[in-house]
Amino acid sequence: MIYKFKSEHPMTPYAPSYDYIITQSVWDESDKIDTIRNFLLSKEKDILKLDFNSDGGTGLDNSSITTRHSNYNVFDYGKEEPELNDLLEFMKKSWWDYIKQDDTQDFALQINAWFNVLRKGQKMNYHNHNSSCGAYLSGNMHLDDYHTKTNYSYMNVHCPIDNVKGGLVLFPSVISHGTDVYNGEEPRVSIAFDLECTFLDCSESTAQTRTFIE
């Protein structure tokens, strides 16, 4: 599925001009997704012992693992939970499909990936992952079917996308997004990530990155 974020033709030199896409693909490995979800939930208490980093604009408080998002990398757990390596390969294929669809060049990339847990009554406020001159792509994936949407917004374009099991959404990091209030009884678990171009100087970044595409 492809969603377009495209401005009208600018009528003045100062009118906004943009042409972005968001894609949603679905990893149909239900058993592997369940295994990953259970594994990540088993790591929640350990991650909460890490230092507070920031809420990333989500509005979540210190009791949330989202506030430790830069202090670990989900895919470093690949030796403990090999299904994560299969998920990483699916993400690489989805990224490749994205840049072919958008007709942009490939880069050597690093990935910073974390997971989020929302419980009944919680939501994420609108935020973006990067609006600097080095912004590239971000993504999220949901590990079950949830009766919520993630709402993407840029300028005057708005796009709600259902949170479905195995649904991987790729989007430019500058696009703001937030969630509905979650009212389910079971934890809502998602994986989020940023892709960073290795030719940029990221020496000031505190994120735990690892190679994505060489």
Contacts 24+ apart (CB under 8 A), 129-136: 129/56, 129/173, 129/194, 130/173, 130/174, 130/194, 131/173, 131/174, 134/196, 134/197, 134/200, 134/202, 135/172, 135/173, 135/174, 136/107, 136/109, 136/172, 136/173, 136/194, 136/195, 136/196, 136/197
- Report the run of H or E that residue 85 belongs to, with start and end: helix 83-102
pTM equals 0.93
Q: What is the pLDDT of residue 53?
A: 85
Q: pLDDT truncated to tens, each residue of the chain (214 aa)?
A: 999 999 989 999 999 899 999 999 999 999 999 999 999 999 999 999 999 988 899 999 999 999 999 999 999 999 999 999 999 999 999 999 999 999 999 999 999 999 999 999 999 999 999 988 889 999 999 999 998 999 999 998 899 999 999 999 999 999 999 999 999 999 999 999 999 998 886 545 556 788 898 8
Phi, psi of 155 (to 5 degrees): 55, -115
Cα separations (Å) of 155 from 21, 64, 95, 151, 170? 14, 29, 24, 13, 18
Question: Is 16:10 a contact under the CB 8 Å cutoff?
Answer: yes
The pLDDT tens digits of the residues spanning 26-69 come to 999 999 999 999 999 999 999 999 999 888 999 999 999 999 99
The pLDDT tens digits of the residues spanning 198-207 come to 888 654 555 6
Q: Please report the domains of the chain, with CATH numbers, ordered by start residue.
A: 2-6+24-213 (2.60.120.620)
Q: What is the pLDDT of residue 203?
A: 47
